[in-house]
Chains A and B, each alone.
Chain A
Amino acid sequence: MSNRIYDAFDSVYAGQKLKEKTKAYLSQKPGRRQSSFTRYAAAAACILSALLGVGGYALYMTPVAAISIDVNPSMEWEVNRLDRVVSVICYNKEAEHVAEKLHLKHRKYDEAITALLTSREMSAYLAEDAAVSISVAAEDEARSIRMQGRAAECAGEHCRNVSCHGGNVSDRQAASEAGVSLGKYEAFLVLQELDPSITLNEVSGMCMGEIQTLIRAYQGQEDAEQTDVYHANGRHCRKCMENAGQGNGNAGGTGIENQNGQDSGNAGSQEMENKDSQTETNGSRENGQENDSNKGYRRHRHNHHHG
Protein backbone atom coordinates (compact mmCIF):
# COMPACT_ATOMS: atom_id res chain seq x y z
CA MET A 1 0.00 0.00 0.00
CA SER A 2 2.70 2.46 0.88
CA ASN A 3 5.08 1.06 -1.66
CA ARG A 4 4.55 3.82 -4.12
CA ILE A 5 5.38 6.48 -1.57
CA TYR A 6 8.32 4.45 -0.32
CA ASP A 7 9.64 3.97 -3.84
CA ALA A 8 9.11 7.59 -4.63
CA PHE A 9 11.17 8.68 -1.60
CA ASP A 10 13.70 5.97 -2.25
CA SER A 11 14.40 7.39 -5.67
CA VAL A 12 15.63 10.55 -4.02
CA TYR A 13 19.18 10.45 -2.76
CA ALA A 14 22.05 12.77 -2.02
CA GLY A 15 24.42 13.12 -4.93
CA GLN A 16 28.10 12.38 -4.53
CA LYS A 17 28.84 16.03 -5.30
CA LEU A 18 26.69 17.21 -2.41
CA LYS A 19 28.42 14.81 -0.01
CA GLU A 20 31.86 15.89 -1.17
CA LYS A 21 30.96 19.55 -0.83
CA THR A 22 29.70 18.99 2.70
CA LYS A 23 32.85 17.07 3.63
CA ALA A 24 35.03 19.79 2.15
CA TYR A 25 33.07 22.41 4.09
CA LEU A 26 33.46 20.50 7.35
CA SER A 27 37.18 19.96 6.87
CA GLN A 28 37.78 23.68 6.42
CA LYS A 29 35.27 24.61 9.10
CA PRO A 30 37.51 24.59 12.17
CA GLY A 31 39.53 27.43 10.72
CA ARG A 32 36.38 29.32 9.88
CA ARG A 33 34.99 28.77 13.33
CA GLN A 34 38.12 30.20 14.77
CA SER A 35 37.88 33.12 12.44
CA SER A 36 34.32 33.79 13.55
CA PHE A 37 35.58 33.88 17.12
CA THR A 38 38.35 36.17 16.00
CA ARG A 39 35.77 38.28 14.27
CA TYR A 40 33.78 38.69 17.45
CA ALA A 41 36.94 39.37 19.39
CA ALA A 42 37.97 41.97 16.84
CA ALA A 43 34.54 43.58 16.96
CA ALA A 44 34.66 43.63 20.76
CA ALA A 45 38.15 45.10 20.65
CA CYS A 46 36.98 47.77 18.21
CA ILE A 47 34.05 48.73 20.40
CA LEU A 48 36.25 48.71 23.46
CA SER A 49 38.89 50.85 21.86
CA ALA A 50 36.25 53.25 20.55
CA LEU A 51 34.79 53.50 24.03
CA LEU A 52 38.23 53.97 25.51
CA GLY A 53 38.95 56.60 22.90
CA VAL A 54 35.77 58.52 23.54
CA GLY A 55 36.11 58.09 27.29
CA GLY A 56 39.76 59.05 27.21
CA TYR A 57 39.04 62.11 25.12
CA ALA A 58 36.21 63.13 27.45
CA LEU A 59 38.49 62.58 30.42
CA TYR A 60 41.28 64.53 28.74
CA MET A 61 39.00 67.42 27.90
CA THR A 62 37.45 67.59 31.36
CA PRO A 63 39.00 70.45 33.25
CA VAL A 64 39.81 69.86 36.89
CA ALA A 65 41.42 73.22 37.57
CA ALA A 66 41.51 76.73 36.23
CA ILE A 67 44.44 79.12 36.16
CA SER A 68 43.78 82.76 35.63
CA ILE A 69 46.62 84.98 34.57
CA ASP A 70 46.23 88.71 34.73
CA VAL A 71 48.70 91.35 33.80
CA ASN A 72 46.85 93.61 31.54
CA PRO A 73 45.92 90.78 29.26
CA SER A 74 43.48 88.82 31.31
CA MET A 75 43.02 85.18 30.46
CA GLU A 76 42.02 81.98 32.06
CA TRP A 77 43.14 78.46 31.25
CA GLU A 78 41.29 75.32 32.05
CA VAL A 79 43.65 72.55 33.00
CA ASN A 80 42.86 68.83 32.88
CA ARG A 81 43.99 66.12 35.29
CA LEU A 82 47.17 65.66 33.27
CA ASP A 83 48.08 69.29 33.94
CA ARG A 84 47.51 70.20 30.32
CA VAL A 85 45.74 73.32 29.19
CA VAL A 86 42.52 72.26 27.46
CA SER A 87 40.93 75.61 26.87
CA VAL A 88 41.97 79.25 26.85
CA ILE A 89 39.42 81.90 27.73
CA CYS A 90 40.32 85.49 26.98
CA TYR A 91 38.69 88.29 28.94
CA ASN A 92 40.00 91.25 27.00
CA LYS A 93 41.33 92.20 23.59
CA GLU A 94 44.92 92.17 24.72
CA ALA A 95 44.52 88.61 25.87
CA GLU A 96 42.96 87.62 22.57
CA HIS A 97 45.83 89.21 20.71
CA VAL A 98 48.38 87.33 22.80
CA ALA A 99 46.51 84.03 22.77
CA GLU A 100 46.07 83.89 19.03
CA LYS A 101 49.79 84.19 18.48
CA LEU A 102 50.69 81.52 21.02
CA HIS A 103 49.74 77.88 20.96
CA LEU A 104 48.89 77.34 24.59
CA LYS A 105 46.40 74.53 24.26
CA HIS A 106 47.50 70.99 25.06
CA ARG A 107 50.69 72.18 26.68
CA LYS A 108 51.49 71.61 30.30
CA TYR A 109 50.41 74.61 32.27
CA ASP A 110 53.92 75.37 33.52
CA GLU A 111 55.27 75.27 29.98
CA ALA A 112 52.38 77.44 28.89
CA ILE A 113 53.18 79.99 31.59
CA THR A 114 56.78 80.06 30.47
CA ALA A 115 55.75 80.39 26.82
CA LEU A 116 53.33 83.17 27.68
CA LEU A 117 55.65 85.21 29.84
CA THR A 118 58.61 84.90 27.47
CA SER A 119 56.63 85.65 24.34
CA ARG A 120 57.23 88.75 22.28
CA GLU A 121 53.53 89.62 22.38
CA MET A 122 53.56 89.62 26.14
CA SER A 123 56.78 91.55 26.58
CA ALA A 124 55.03 94.88 25.98
CA TYR A 125 52.79 94.27 28.96
CA LEU A 126 55.52 92.98 31.20
CA ALA A 127 57.70 96.04 30.99
CA GLU A 128 58.65 97.80 34.18
CA ASP A 129 57.92 94.83 36.40
CA ALA A 130 54.22 94.82 35.80
CA ALA A 131 52.27 92.84 38.34
CA VAL A 132 51.51 89.31 37.25
CA SER A 133 48.66 87.80 39.17
CA ILE A 134 48.09 84.08 38.93
CA SER A 135 45.01 82.54 40.50
CA VAL A 136 44.42 78.85 40.68
CA ALA A 137 41.04 77.28 41.34
CA ALA A 138 40.71 73.55 41.75
CA GLU A 139 38.31 71.32 43.62
CA ASP A 140 41.17 69.28 44.92
CA GLU A 141 43.04 71.41 47.41
CA ALA A 142 46.27 69.45 47.14
CA ARG A 143 46.25 69.96 43.39
CA SER A 144 45.52 73.63 43.83
CA ILE A 145 48.45 74.10 46.19
CA ARG A 146 50.80 72.12 43.98
CA MET A 147 49.74 74.11 40.93
CA GLN A 148 50.11 77.41 42.72
CA GLY A 149 53.63 76.51 43.74
CA ARG A 150 54.61 75.36 40.29
CA ALA A 151 52.95 78.34 38.57
CA ALA A 152 54.63 80.80 40.88
CA GLU A 153 57.97 79.12 40.37
CA CYS A 154 57.63 79.21 36.58
CA ALA A 155 56.40 82.77 36.45
CA GLY A 156 59.01 83.87 38.93
CA GLU A 157 61.75 82.80 36.57
CA HIS A 158 60.62 85.42 34.09
CA CYS A 159 58.91 88.14 36.09
CA ARG A 160 59.85 89.74 39.33
CA ASN A 161 56.45 90.76 40.49
CA VAL A 162 54.35 87.66 40.64
CA SER A 163 51.55 87.05 43.06
CA CYS A 164 49.87 83.71 43.22
CA HIS A 165 46.57 82.93 44.90
CA GLY A 166 44.32 80.02 45.41
CA GLY A 167 40.70 80.47 44.64
CA ASN A 168 37.70 78.30 45.03
CA VAL A 169 35.55 76.84 42.34
CA SER A 170 32.42 78.81 43.23
CA ASP A 171 34.35 82.08 42.94
CA ARG A 172 35.59 80.99 39.59
CA GLN A 173 32.09 80.28 38.44
CA ALA A 174 30.90 83.65 39.68
CA ALA A 175 33.84 85.27 37.89
CA SER A 176 33.10 83.63 34.57
CA GLU A 177 29.43 84.54 34.91
CA ALA A 178 30.47 88.15 35.49
CA GLY A 179 32.82 87.96 32.51
CA VAL A 180 36.07 88.55 34.34
CA SER A 181 38.95 86.29 35.15
CA LEU A 182 39.24 84.67 38.55
CA GLY A 183 42.25 86.80 39.51
CA LYS A 184 40.39 90.00 38.84
CA TYR A 185 37.27 88.76 40.53
CA GLU A 186 39.16 87.91 43.68
CA ALA A 187 40.86 91.28 43.64
CA PHE A 188 37.44 92.82 43.19
CA LEU A 189 36.11 90.96 46.20
CA VAL A 190 38.93 92.33 48.31
CA LEU A 191 38.35 95.82 46.98
CA GLN A 192 34.66 95.57 47.61
CA GLU A 193 35.33 94.68 51.20
CA LEU A 194 37.39 97.82 51.55
CA ASP A 195 35.09 100.03 49.53
CA PRO A 196 31.55 98.71 49.01
CA SER A 197 30.84 101.38 46.39
CA ILE A 198 33.25 99.87 43.88
CA THR A 199 31.76 97.91 40.99
CA LEU A 200 33.04 95.01 39.03
CA ASN A 201 32.83 97.06 35.86
CA GLU A 202 35.37 99.48 37.21
CA VAL A 203 37.73 96.74 38.23
CA SER A 204 37.48 94.78 35.00
CA GLY A 205 38.95 97.65 33.04
CA MET A 206 42.05 97.97 35.22
CA CYS A 207 45.29 96.11 34.96
CA MET A 208 46.48 94.10 37.91
CA GLY A 209 49.07 96.65 38.91
CA GLU A 210 46.42 99.29 39.30
CA ILE A 211 44.14 97.03 41.26
CA GLN A 212 46.90 95.99 43.60
CA THR A 213 47.87 99.58 44.11
CA LEU A 214 44.31 100.45 44.89
CA ILE A 215 43.98 97.65 47.38
CA ARG A 216 47.14 98.64 49.05
CA ALA A 217 46.05 102.23 49.19
CA TYR A 218 42.77 101.30 50.81
CA GLN A 219 44.59 99.26 53.32
CA GLY A 220 46.35 102.43 54.29
CA GLN A 221 49.86 101.32 53.80
CA GLU A 222 52.64 103.63 54.62
CA ASP A 223 53.93 104.36 51.14
CA ALA A 224 50.68 105.74 49.76
CA GLU A 225 52.47 108.69 48.34
CA GLN A 226 54.54 106.53 46.12
CA THR A 227 51.44 105.21 44.44
CA ASP A 228 50.18 108.73 44.20
CA VAL A 229 53.22 109.59 42.18
CA TYR A 230 52.61 106.67 39.86
CA HIS A 231 49.00 107.47 39.35
CA ALA A 232 49.10 111.22 39.33
CA ASN A 233 49.55 111.34 35.58
CA GLY A 234 46.56 109.07 34.98
CA ARG A 235 48.53 106.55 32.94
CA HIS A 236 48.11 102.84 33.24
CA CYS A 237 50.20 101.53 36.03
CA ARG A 238 53.19 99.65 34.80
CA LYS A 239 55.20 99.79 37.93
CA CYS A 240 53.72 97.65 40.58
CA MET A 241 54.10 97.66 44.24
CA GLU A 242 56.89 95.34 45.09
CA ASN A 243 55.47 94.58 48.42
CA ALA A 244 51.92 94.34 47.16
CA GLY A 245 52.12 90.76 48.23
CA GLN A 246 51.81 91.80 51.83
CA GLY A 247 48.56 93.46 50.97
CA ASN A 248 47.37 90.64 48.82
CA GLY A 249 48.17 88.11 51.40
CA ASN A 250 44.71 88.69 52.70
CA ALA A 251 43.32 89.04 49.23
CA GLY A 252 43.90 85.51 48.14
CA GLY A 253 42.55 83.98 51.27
CA THR A 254 44.08 80.55 51.06
CA GLY A 255 46.62 81.66 48.54
CA ILE A 256 50.34 81.28 48.53
CA GLU A 257 52.08 84.55 48.19
CA ASN A 258 55.08 84.40 46.04
CA GLN A 259 56.82 87.60 45.25
CA ASN A 260 59.71 86.00 43.59
CA GLY A 261 59.34 82.38 42.69
CA GLN A 262 63.04 81.74 42.31
CA ASP A 263 65.10 80.13 44.98
CA SER A 264 66.79 83.44 45.51
CA GLY A 265 63.50 84.80 46.77
CA ASN A 266 65.13 86.32 49.80
CA ALA A 267 67.38 88.43 47.70
CA GLY A 268 64.38 89.68 45.78
CA SER A 269 62.45 90.66 48.81
CA GLN A 270 65.49 92.34 50.24
CA GLU A 271 65.70 94.40 47.13
CA MET A 272 62.08 95.32 47.51
CA GLU A 273 62.59 96.45 51.03
CA ASN A 274 65.37 98.65 49.84
CA LYS A 275 63.19 100.15 47.22
CA ASP A 276 60.49 100.76 49.71
CA SER A 277 62.75 102.53 52.04
CA GLN A 278 64.02 104.55 49.15
CA THR A 279 60.61 105.68 48.11
CA GLU A 280 59.88 106.42 51.68
CA THR A 281 62.82 108.69 51.96
CA ASN A 282 62.04 110.31 48.64
CA GLY A 283 58.48 110.94 49.59
CA SER A 284 58.12 113.83 51.94
CA ARG A 285 54.45 113.60 52.68
CA GLU A 286 53.01 112.94 56.05
CA ASN A 287 50.77 110.04 56.82
CA GLY A 288 47.96 112.46 57.25
CA GLN A 289 47.95 113.03 53.52
CA GLU A 290 46.91 109.52 52.78
CA ASN A 291 43.32 110.51 52.32
CA ASP A 292 44.26 112.81 49.52
CA SER A 293 46.10 110.12 47.74
CA ASN A 294 43.12 107.84 48.12
CA LYS A 295 41.00 110.43 46.44
CA GLY A 296 43.56 110.41 43.70
CA TYR A 297 43.00 106.70 43.09
CA ARG A 298 39.29 107.09 43.00
CA ARG A 299 39.66 109.86 40.49
CA HIS A 300 41.96 107.83 38.43
CA ARG A 301 39.71 104.85 38.59
CA HIS A 302 36.77 106.80 37.37
CA ASN A 303 38.79 108.40 34.64
CA HIS A 304 39.87 105.01 33.52
CA HIS A 305 36.40 103.68 33.60
CA HIS A 306 34.98 106.43 31.53
CA GLY A 307 37.88 106.31 29.19
Chain B
Amino acid sequence: MRSEQEAARAIELYADTVRRICMLHLKSDSDTEDIFQTVFLKYVLYSGAFENEEHEKAWLIRVTLNACKDFMKSFFRSHTVSLDEIEEVIADVPEDHSDVLEAVLSLPPKYKTVIYLYFYEQYSAVEISRLLGKNVNTVYTLLARAKAMLKEQLGGEEFE
Protein backbone atom coordinates (compact mmCIF):
# COMPACT_ATOMS: atom_id res chain seq x y z
CA MET B 1 0.00 0.00 0.00
CA ARG B 2 1.32 3.42 -0.97
CA SER B 3 1.61 6.36 1.38
CA GLU B 4 -0.54 9.47 1.29
CA GLN B 5 2.38 11.49 -0.12
CA GLU B 6 2.78 9.09 -3.02
CA ALA B 7 -0.94 9.30 -3.70
CA ALA B 8 -0.81 13.12 -3.63
CA ARG B 9 2.11 13.08 -6.07
CA ALA B 10 0.29 10.73 -8.42
CA ILE B 11 -2.83 12.88 -8.29
CA GLU B 12 -0.84 16.01 -9.13
CA LEU B 13 0.94 14.25 -11.97
CA TYR B 14 -1.84 12.22 -13.56
CA ALA B 15 -5.09 13.90 -12.58
CA ASP B 16 -5.31 15.68 -15.92
CA THR B 17 -4.77 12.45 -17.85
CA VAL B 18 -7.44 10.67 -15.85
CA ARG B 19 -9.77 13.63 -16.25
CA ARG B 20 -9.38 13.60 -20.04
CA ILE B 21 -10.15 9.91 -20.30
CA CYS B 22 -13.16 10.43 -18.06
CA MET B 23 -14.32 13.24 -20.30
CA LEU B 24 -14.21 10.87 -23.27
CA HIS B 25 -16.43 8.29 -21.67
CA LEU B 26 -18.47 9.90 -18.91
CA LYS B 27 -21.08 12.56 -18.95
CA SER B 28 -21.21 14.05 -15.49
CA ASP B 29 -18.88 15.50 -12.88
CA SER B 30 -20.10 13.17 -10.19
CA ASP B 31 -19.29 10.14 -12.36
CA THR B 32 -15.83 11.59 -12.98
CA GLU B 33 -15.40 12.02 -9.26
CA ASP B 34 -16.30 8.37 -8.71
CA ILE B 35 -13.76 7.25 -11.30
CA PHE B 36 -11.07 9.46 -9.73
CA GLN B 37 -11.67 7.82 -6.39
CA THR B 38 -11.66 4.34 -7.88
CA VAL B 39 -8.51 4.88 -9.93
CA PHE B 40 -6.41 6.50 -7.24
CA LEU B 41 -7.60 4.07 -4.61
CA LYS B 42 -6.41 1.28 -6.89
CA TYR B 43 -3.14 3.12 -7.23
CA VAL B 44 -2.76 3.39 -3.45
CA LEU B 45 -3.55 -0.29 -2.99
CA TYR B 46 -1.37 -1.50 -5.85
CA SER B 47 1.66 -3.17 -4.37
CA GLY B 48 3.64 -3.72 -7.58
CA ALA B 49 6.56 -1.51 -8.53
CA PHE B 50 6.65 0.75 -11.60
CA GLU B 51 9.75 0.74 -13.74
CA ASN B 52 9.48 4.42 -14.58
CA GLU B 53 7.01 7.25 -14.87
CA GLU B 54 5.96 6.15 -18.33
CA HIS B 55 5.09 2.74 -16.99
CA GLU B 56 3.19 4.34 -14.16
CA LYS B 57 1.26 6.57 -16.52
CA ALA B 58 0.39 3.68 -18.84
CA TRP B 59 -0.80 1.69 -15.83
CA LEU B 60 -3.05 4.56 -14.75
CA ILE B 61 -4.45 4.99 -18.27
CA ARG B 62 -5.27 1.30 -18.41
CA VAL B 63 -6.89 1.35 -14.97
CA THR B 64 -8.89 4.45 -15.85
CA LEU B 65 -10.14 2.92 -19.09
CA ASN B 66 -11.16 -0.23 -17.23
CA ALA B 67 -12.88 1.78 -14.52
CA CYS B 68 -14.82 3.73 -17.13
CA LYS B 69 -15.79 0.54 -18.92
CA ASP B 70 -16.97 -1.05 -15.67
CA PHE B 71 -18.88 2.07 -14.81
CA MET B 72 -20.62 2.12 -18.20
CA LYS B 73 -21.50 -1.53 -17.78
CA SER B 74 -22.94 -1.17 -14.31
CA PHE B 75 -26.62 -1.88 -13.87
CA PHE B 76 -27.38 1.43 -12.20
CA ARG B 77 -25.68 3.32 -14.97
CA SER B 78 -27.44 1.43 -17.73
CA HIS B 79 -30.85 1.82 -16.16
CA THR B 80 -30.89 5.45 -15.06
CA VAL B 81 -30.34 8.80 -16.70
CA SER B 82 -28.98 11.69 -14.73
CA LEU B 83 -30.98 14.91 -15.09
CA ASP B 84 -27.98 17.14 -15.63
CA GLU B 85 -26.22 14.68 -17.88
CA ILE B 86 -26.68 16.23 -21.28
CA GLU B 87 -25.45 19.77 -20.94
CA GLU B 88 -22.73 19.21 -18.43
CA VAL B 89 -19.94 17.95 -20.66
CA ILE B 90 -20.48 20.57 -23.26
CA ALA B 91 -20.51 23.25 -20.61
CA ASP B 92 -17.15 21.98 -19.33
CA VAL B 93 -15.48 22.16 -22.67
CA PRO B 94 -13.58 25.38 -23.39
CA GLU B 95 -15.21 27.54 -26.06
CA ASP B 96 -12.28 27.59 -28.45
CA HIS B 97 -12.09 23.86 -28.87
CA SER B 98 -15.66 22.87 -28.40
CA ASP B 99 -16.18 21.89 -32.01
CA VAL B 100 -13.16 19.55 -32.07
CA LEU B 101 -14.03 18.02 -28.71
CA GLU B 102 -17.64 17.57 -29.68
CA ALA B 103 -16.55 15.82 -32.83
CA VAL B 104 -14.25 13.51 -30.87
CA LEU B 105 -16.89 12.80 -28.24
CA SER B 106 -19.40 11.91 -30.90
CA LEU B 107 -17.23 8.99 -32.02
CA PRO B 108 -17.87 5.47 -30.73
CA PRO B 109 -15.82 4.71 -27.56
CA LYS B 110 -13.16 2.56 -29.21
CA TYR B 111 -12.31 5.37 -31.64
CA LYS B 112 -12.30 8.06 -28.96
CA THR B 113 -9.71 6.20 -26.92
CA VAL B 114 -7.45 5.57 -29.86
CA ILE B 115 -7.66 9.21 -30.99
CA TYR B 116 -6.83 10.44 -27.52
CA LEU B 117 -3.88 8.08 -27.07
CA TYR B 118 -2.53 8.77 -30.52
CA PHE B 119 -2.98 12.53 -30.83
CA TYR B 120 -2.68 13.71 -27.28
CA GLU B 121 -0.57 11.15 -25.41
CA GLN B 122 1.36 10.59 -28.63
CA TYR B 123 1.69 6.87 -28.28
CA SER B 124 2.62 4.94 -31.36
CA ALA B 125 0.20 2.44 -32.85
CA VAL B 126 2.33 -0.37 -31.45
CA GLU B 127 2.25 1.12 -27.96
CA ILE B 128 -1.49 1.66 -28.23
CA SER B 129 -1.95 -1.95 -29.30
CA ARG B 130 -0.04 -3.11 -26.23
CA LEU B 131 -1.89 -0.75 -23.93
CA LEU B 132 -5.31 -1.78 -25.21
CA GLY B 133 -4.46 -5.40 -25.79
CA LYS B 134 -5.42 -5.13 -29.45
CA ASN B 135 -3.75 -6.18 -32.62
CA VAL B 136 -1.52 -3.43 -34.14
CA ASN B 137 -3.38 -3.62 -37.42
CA THR B 138 -6.64 -3.20 -35.59
CA VAL B 139 -5.26 -0.02 -34.06
CA TYR B 140 -4.24 1.23 -37.48
CA THR B 141 -7.71 0.52 -38.80
CA LEU B 142 -9.36 2.24 -35.84
CA LEU B 143 -7.13 5.25 -36.31
CA ALA B 144 -7.81 5.49 -40.00
CA ARG B 145 -11.57 5.24 -39.51
CA ALA B 146 -11.53 7.74 -36.66
CA LYS B 147 -9.58 10.23 -38.72
CA ALA B 148 -11.98 9.81 -41.61
CA MET B 149 -14.95 10.42 -39.34
CA LEU B 150 -13.36 13.52 -37.83
CA LYS B 151 -12.46 14.83 -41.24
CA GLU B 152 -15.99 14.41 -42.31
CA GLN B 153 -17.25 16.30 -39.32
CA LEU B 154 -14.66 19.03 -39.07
CA GLY B 155 -13.45 19.30 -42.64
CA GLY B 156 -9.96 20.36 -43.61
CA GLU B 157 -6.75 18.63 -44.36
CA GLU B 158 -5.38 18.33 -40.89
CA PHE B 159 -6.76 14.89 -39.97
CA GLU B 160 -4.78 12.90 -42.43
| A residues in contact (CB < 8 Å) with B | 1-14, 18-19, 21-23, 25-27, 29
Contacts and interface: CB of A to CB of B under 8 A. Distances in A.
Nearest to A27: B4
B115 A5 contact: yes
A275 B88 CA distance: 108
Contact of B97 (A8, A19, A25): A8
A3 B19 contact: no
Contacts of A21: 33, 36
B96 to A, nearest CB: 7
Given A12-B93, A18-B32, A1 B159 contact: yes
Contact of A22 (B11, B23, B96, B120): B11
User: What class of interface size applies to chain B in its complex with A?
Assistant: 35 or more
Interface string B18-61: 11100100000100110011001100100000000000000000
Contacts of B44: 26, 29
B133 interface: no
5 contacts: A11-B93, A11-B96, A22-B33, A22-B36, A26-B41
Q: Is the interface of B mostly helix, strand, loop or mixed?
A: helix
A9 B4 contact: no
A220 to B, nearest CB: 86
A6 B120 contact: yes
B23 A12 contact: yes
Given A1-B160, A9-B119, A26-B4, A18 B101 contact: no
A156 to B, nearest CB: 71
B66 to A, nearest CB: 17
Nearest to A29: B41
A7 B29 CA distance: 22
B16 interface: yes
Contact of A9 (B7, B120, B159): B120
A8 B104 contact: yes
Nearest to A4: B100
Contacts of B104: 5, 8
A292 to B, nearest CB: 92
B87 interface: no
A70 B159 CA distance: 103
Contact of A4 (B19, B36, B40, B97): B97
B140 to A, nearest CB: 16
A5 B33 contact: no
A48 B104 CA distance: 53
Contacts of A10: 120
B12 interface: yes
Contacts of B116: 9
Q: Is the interface of A mostly helix, strand, loop or mixed?
A: helix
B20 A12 contact: yes
Given A12-B23, A12-B101, 13 more contacts: A5-B100, A5-B150, A6-B119, A9-B119, A14-B15, A18-B29, A18-B33, A22-B11, A23-B8, A25-B40, A26-B40, A29-B41, A29-B44
Contacts of A19: 11-12, 15
B19 A5 contact: no
Nearest to A10: B120
Given A21-B33, A29-B41, A29-B44, A14 B16 contact: yes
B36 A18 contact: yes
Contacts of A23: 4, 7-8, 11
Contacts of A26: 4, 7, 37, 40-41, 44
A294 B19 CA distance: 107
B96 A14 contact: no
A239 B41 CA distance: 87
A264 B119 CA distance: 107
Contact of A7 (B4, B15, B16, B97): B97
Contact of A14 (B7, B18, B93, B94): B18
A27 B96 CA distance: 37
Contacts of B16: 12-14
A2 B12 contact: no
Contacts of B157: 1
B84 interface: no
A112 to B, nearest CB: 57
Given A4-B97, A18-B32, A12 B37 contact: no
A184 B93 CA distance: 94
A13 B19 contact: yes
